[in-house]
Amino acid sequence: MHRRAAFLARTFAFALACVVPSVAAAQPAEPARPGPAAPAGVPVAPPTLLSDPDVPYPDGATGDATVIVVLVVGEDGAVRSATPEGADEPFLGAAAAAARAWRFEPARRGETPVAARIKIAITFRAPVVKEPEPEAEPEPEPEPAATPGKPAPRRPRERPQEVRVRGAREPGRTVSLSRTEVRQIPGAFGDPFRAVEIMPGVTPIVSGLPFFFVRGAPPGNVGYYLDGVRIPLLFHVGAGPSVVHPGLVQRVDLYPGGYPARFGRFSGGIVSGETAPPLDRPHGEYNLRLFDAGAMIETPFGPKNRGSVLLGGRYSYTAFLLTQIASDTLLDYWDYQGRASYDLTPDDRISVFAFGSYDYLGQRTATQTITLFGTEFHRVDLRYDRKLGDKGAMRVAVTTGFDRSRAQEDRYVRDRVLGARTEWTYYADPRVLLRAGTDLQVDSYDVQVVSGTLAPSVARVASYFPSRTDLAFGARADAVVAVAKGFEVTPGARVDMFASDGATALGVDPRLAMRTEVTQDVRVLSALGIAHQPPSFVVPVPGFQPGGLRGGLQKAYQTALGVEADLFEAITGTATVFHNAFYDMSDPLGTSPPQLSGCAPGTFPTDTLAGDRTRTSGGFGGGGSATCGVPRFPPGTIGPDRSGGGQQGADSRGTQTAANAFEVRTRGEAIGLELFLKKKLTSRIGGFLSYTLSRSTRTYEGRSYVATFDRTHVLNTALAFDLGKNWRAGTRFTFYTGLPKAPDPTDDATRLQPFYRVDLRLEKRWQLSRTAWISGVAEWLNATLSKEAVATTCTLGGCQAQLIGPVTIPSVGVEGGF
């Protein structure tokens, strides 16, 4: 292990001395409580950590630190107490907070669970070294344990056996990324939610656009949550930074299928973010970039720092910049976050969490400003948390919110949100963790679209969004049961009831997950479940929830089986095979089979003057163009008189077909293999490799075809390395297969050309004081200026790939914290 490291949040656990009765005798300062049925002389098996051992590097911290945490693990595997020592804040607090939430397989004497006292060493490594130091030095020999009453040692004083603590990834989850790691991913701009695109199972639509297909499910079927509160719009202006300040997000997890029962109402996947817990000292973070600036600050208050207040936000000055370039264009966005919490007692906490976002795109004319796109949302979540002793915890929360999206001619959709939820976890038995909860949400939609001025097909789509009140109520429960040592089963279910515009529906979602330890370093994880979801819009947009449950609920059957292994050099790897089946799926993006842009030579557009509407070659699922007719006459014969093909202009065929795609329900299927290898990006040399091999299909009216956004291979790999002198560099390579290609008489290829890009990142950090730091960060998404093929365009002269881009985003900025 190297002291000079640019490591962040690298956690090792040195467990030791599993000190149960017999061992405790050798450590009078740390007496262990004997198990009630512990026969003397029988060897004691130490407790095994079941929880994820990663402890994020605390915000505002600097340098490396090793915290020794003395844990008392009860017979039920719960952590009765966690006493940190050996370092300073905020390391102590971060380590203790994480350890208290851990769950262990209890120590055993024979077959009898017994209480145990253990010591665990958690090592934090700073992401960038402060000063050059000598190359690697040997790992210091641990020293004997501290003597009670004496100052806490800086290092463990007992000689621990180094044990790589085995993590317990939830079976339904693929990858979890801490924010400190995300900061090192080139092209993610430090944004945890943008980093979702590197996770296995995720298929991008277009490079740089943060909307994804997840295991074949469209973007509208993927739910985004922050601390259990759904986020209606995740990215500013559709493609910009996320609407939550990155400094507030501690980690982001992706659940692509078979997710725990606490997640529901989305049939495609869940992206769940967690905010960082309050610290007991003032800290903050800020950033200044070409396009926006943001800051976040948090400070404790009250006796013994029982309370804390956090404020954060971001403001874009692109409106000002754009004005200098295009004076008739307005682009503006901002977001805010606020959090306050107070510990009423050691077991009771109340808190309020508010966040929101505003986006606006407009055009100035001589007389007015026209709104092209405007959307905003606001959420306030009031929570009461109570610890149920060592047995569990509960939360009661009430959420209110307001969503609004606007478009031209004062058209708008508003949604007033009121929700409530309860969450409860309880260890009914040392081997059984019960989890249950309920949630209720009422959405009052107020819609103004002036349908009389819309084209008929668009008006038909608009009719899916009436003013109304929707109601959704869900109840769920599951149990994490340690059936035997190394074998854990989690059966569960949730039931959701939906009511919208006079229609009702019921979704019953059973879930089952299993985790089996094959060896100490290898685990087999499986998850399967059913998920229901009301009809969805193309992508998440505040207020845009189709009403009336027309077409019924979408349903997904999700199954996955994977292997997780701790490999050499602190590398972890996973391999997962999955199969998802979707029924009554609303997927406007993937429903239409690939089509040519323009008509292939020798075919005729059917919506033009000369078009032949009676000879189209297909429709949805037809594998061909719905709007190009085959020639009625071969060369050498007289062609038809098509004068007056008609229907030009009033409602173009393209708009009609897009509208139809919105209404169509299809059956979908996705099958694939996911590989993920990671060495923490915060390591001196870290990186990851994420690869997905998959195939996604749709079936409509009995015809099956490859989904429009299917990509056979998706590869993301990144390397981050410490250059020394507080310089850190990273590069990322992205490759994916081209989209399915429409049949084209001039080309036999079945797919568009593949896409690749390289992203770069370079950071220089200066340590201003013990806690304050500042960094200069240069980042460049698509430094190779690669263009991406999205369709095939045909003219009389032939067909060729329609390229967009290069979509490239250079960014230079300053980040800092204290």
Nearer to another protein, 277 or 601 (CB): 601
Query: Count of CB atoms within 10 A of residue 340's CB?
Result: 17
Nearer to another protein, 61 or 599 (CB): 599
- Position among 405, 690, 692, 694 found at the interface with another protein (CB under 8 A): 405
Residue 597 touches another protein, criterion: CB under 8 A: yes
Nearer to another protein, 288 or 450 (CB): 450
Question: In this chain, which stretch among 105-113, 153-161, 336-344, 642-650 interacts with another protein, using CB under 8 A?
Answer: 642-650
CB-based burial label for 442 (10 Å; 0-12, 13-18, 19+): middle
Residue 605 touches another protein, criterion: CB under 8 A: yes
Phi, psi of 714 (to 5 degrees): -130, 120
Nearer to another protein, 277 or 548 (CB): 548
Element housing 533 (H / E):
strand 522-533
Instruction: List CB contacts of 145: < 8 A, sequence separation 6 or more.
Output: 17, 27, 29, 30, 119, 156, 157, 158
Phi, psi of 23 (to 5 degrees): -70, -35
In angstroms, the CA 512 to CA 258 distance is 7
Phi, psi of 476 (to 5 degrees): -150, 160
Task: Identify the CA nearest to 332 among candidates 357, 309, 354.
Answer: 357
Task: Identify the CA nearest to 249 among candidates 276, 285, 287.
Answer: 276
Site for another protein in 406-425 (CB under 8 A): 406-409, 411-413
In angstroms, the CA 219 to CA 491 distance is 28
Site for another protein in 656-675 (CB under 8 A): 657-658, 661-662
Residue 346 touches another protein, criterion: CB under 8 A: no
Residue 456 touches another protein, criterion: CB under 8 A: yes
SS (H, E, C) 54-79: CCCCCCCCCCCEEEEEEEEECCCCEE
Strands (DSSP E) found in 411-467: 411-429, 432-448
Task: Identify the CA nearest to 223 among candidates 210, 236, 233, 215.
Answer: 233
| Pairing label, strands 411-429, 432-448 | antiparallel
Q: In one letter, which amino acid is 817?
A: G
Nearer to another protein, 184 or 595 (CB): 595
- Position among 453, 504, 519, 704 found at the interface with another protein (CB under 8 A): 453
Site for another protein in 721-750 (CB under 8 A): 739
Tokens of 567: 């490999």
Residue 625 touches another protein, criterion: CB under 8 A: yes
Task: Identify the CA nearest to 250 among candidates 223, 279, 273.
Answer: 273
Question: In this chain, which stretch among 47-55, 282-290, 450-458, 486-494 interacts with another protein, using CB under 8 A?
Answer: 450-458
Minimal distance in Å, beta carbon 639 to another protein? Answer: 4
Residue 614 touches another protein, criterion: CB under 8 A: no
Residue 40 touches another protein, criterion: CB under 8 A: no
Q: In one letter, which amino acid is 208?
A: G
Residue 193 touches another protein, criterion: CB under 8 A: no
Minimal distance in Å, beta carbon 548 to another protein? Answer: 14
- Position among 40, 325, 366, 796 found at the interface with another protein (CB under 8 A): 796
Cβ atoms of 429 and 76 closer than 8 Å: yes
Site for another protein in 464-483 (CB under 8 A): 464-465
Nearer to another protein, 171 or 740 (CB): 740
| Pairing label, strands 596-597, 788-795 | parallel
Nearer to another protein, 31 or 602 (CB): 602
Question: In this chain, which stretch among 193-201, 274-282, 473-481, 651-659 interacts with another protein, using CB under 8 A?
Answer: 651-659
Site for another protein in 498-557 (CB under 8 A): 537-539, 541, 544
Residue 462 touches another protein, criterion: CB under 8 A: yes
- Position among 25, 321, 508, 609 found at the interface with another protein (CB under 8 A): 609
- Position among 278, 312, 534, 594 found at the interface with another protein (CB under 8 A): 594
Residue 798 touches another protein, criterion: CB under 8 A: no
In angstroms, the CA 571 to CA 688 distance is 9
SS (H, E, C) 364-405: ECCCCEEEEEEEEEEEEEEEEEEEECCCEEEEEEEEEEEEEE
Residue 805 touches another protein, criterion: CB under 8 A: no
Q: How many residues bind another protein (CB under 8 A)?
A: 86
Nearer to another protein, 277 or 466 (CB): 466
Minimal distance in Å, beta carbon 598 to another protein? Answer: 6
Tokens of 637: 């014969």
Mask: binding to another protein, 360-399, rule CB under 8 A, as x and -? Answer: ------------xx--------------------------
Question: In this chain, which stretch among 151-159, 466-474, 478-486, 645-653 interacts with another protein, using CB under 8 A?
Answer: 645-653
CB-based burial label for 39 (10 Å; 0-12, 13-18, 19+): exposed
Nearer to another protein, 350 or 372 (CB): 372
